[in-house]
Amino acid sequence: AQKITQTQPGMFVQEKEAVTLDCTYDTSDQSYGLFWYKQPSSGEMIFLIYQGSYDEQNATEGRYSLNFQKARKSANLVISASQLGDSAMYFCAMRESHRSGGGADGLTFGKGTHLIIQP
Amino acid sequence: GAGVSQSPSNKVTEKGKDVELRCDPISGHTALYWYRQSLGQGLEFLIYFQGNSAPDKSGLPSDRFSAERTGGSVSTLTIQRTQQEDSAVYLCASSSSGGRWETQYFGPGTRLLVL
């Protein structure tokens, strides 16, 4: 089973509109961290926002906010007032707390959403 | 300050040859991570170093892959006897102390093409 599911392979959004990128996750850990990264066509992964599983408030960073619904295991990224420069791939990722190997020390990524902002 | 750097940016090699990919983390960062990004598999975690040691190597795809880190800084990922399925972008990331919830900062990647 996929640990991170991003159900929107691609999205077209009009400039200045708000965008919600979906992410659901699967873990049996009580303690985990959720991350969103942006990857423009240049290829570099840019960190956007982090949400800890015990954080009571939804994380916000400038135009980015994370709609964290723990019971539903979802961590959607919201971009307000989208800009042309927001066009990129967006990846949701999780790091779990257990250290049982099999990749637990790294981030587990979803397949990504390709966001295109149209003028 | 300087971010994570990787070299080479691009590498084309023939099947069966060995390649070395280098990662220079952010100065002072003790934790270093290698990932692979390919069309078929997406982003996969390969290996993590805390200082010079890698507690778990099970993420490496096969025994042709090895990684080392010396001096707690630069890391090298070596692929022996490359195969066409090794073609991918290899990304390196670092974080300040390896805390589980720390942000990992990524380098620009090395694009490997095996002919």
Q: Where are the alpha helices (DSSP H) in A38-115?
A: none
Whether B35 sits inside 8 A of A42 (CB atoms) is no
In this structure, of A9-18, B43-52, B82-91, the range with the lowest mean pLDDT score is B43-52
Q: Give phi and psi for A85, each to the nearest 5.
A: -70, -5
Judged by DSSP in three states, B97 sits in coil
CB contact under 8 A, B56 and A44: no
Check B104 against A47: CB less than 8 A apart.
yes
Mean pLDDT (whole number) for B3-17: 97
Question: Chain A contact for B103, CB < 8 A?
Answer: yes
Check whether A7 has a pLDDT greater than 60: yes
Pairwise CB contact (< 8 Å): B58 & A44: no
Which positions in chain A touch B45 (Cβ < 8 Å)?
A: 103, 105-108
A104 within 8 A of B33, measured Cβ to Cβ: no
The string of pLDDT tens digits covering residues A9-42 is 999 999 999 999 999 999 988 899 999 999 999 9
Residue B107 pLDDT exceeds 60:
yes
**DSSP secondary structure, A17-46, as one string:** S-EEE--EE----SSEEEEEEEE-TT---E
Among B72, B64, B78, B65, residue whose Cα is nearest residue B22: B78
> Which residue in chain A is spatially nearest to B41 when comparing CA positions?
A111
The CA distance from A17 to the nearest CA of chain B, in Å, is 28
Question: Looking up tokens 């934790």, which residue turns up?
Answer: B31
**B67 falls in which pLDDT band (50, 70, 90)?**
very high
Q: Which of B43, B45, B47 is the closest to A91 by Cβ?
A: B43
Amino acid (1-letter code) at residue A38: K
Cα A119 to Cα A13: distance, rounded to the nearest angstrom: 9
More confident residue, B58 or A47: A47
Buried b (16+ CB within 10 A) or exposed e, B50-79: beeebebeebbeeeebebebeebbebebeb
Share of chain B above pLDDT 70, in %: 99
Q: How far is A112 from chain B (nearest CA, A)?
A: 8
Cα(B58)–Cα(B30) distance, integer angstroms: 20
**Within an 8 Å CB–CB cutoff, is residue B110 touching chain A?**
no
How many residues does the structure list for chain B? Answer: 115
Kindly report, residue by residue over A34-71, the tens digit of the pLDDT: 999 999 999 999 999 999 999 989 999 999 999 999 99
Q: Are the C-beta atoms of residues A49 and A77 closer than 8 Å to each other? A: yes
pLDDT for B1: 58
pLDDT tens track for A61-112:
999 999 999 999 999 999 999 999 999 999 999 998 765 544 557 899 999 9
Residue type (1 letter), B65: F
Token reading at A16: 């200045």
Q: What is the pLDDT at residue B39? A: 86
Other C-beta atoms lying within 10 Å of the C-beta of residue A32? 20
Calculate mean pLDDT across residues B64-87: 95
Mean pLDDT over residues B61-84, rounded?
A: 95
Provide the mean pLDDT of chain B: 93
pLDDT band at A1 (very low <50, low <70, confident <90, very high): low
Q: Is the pLDDT of residue B100 over 80?
A: no
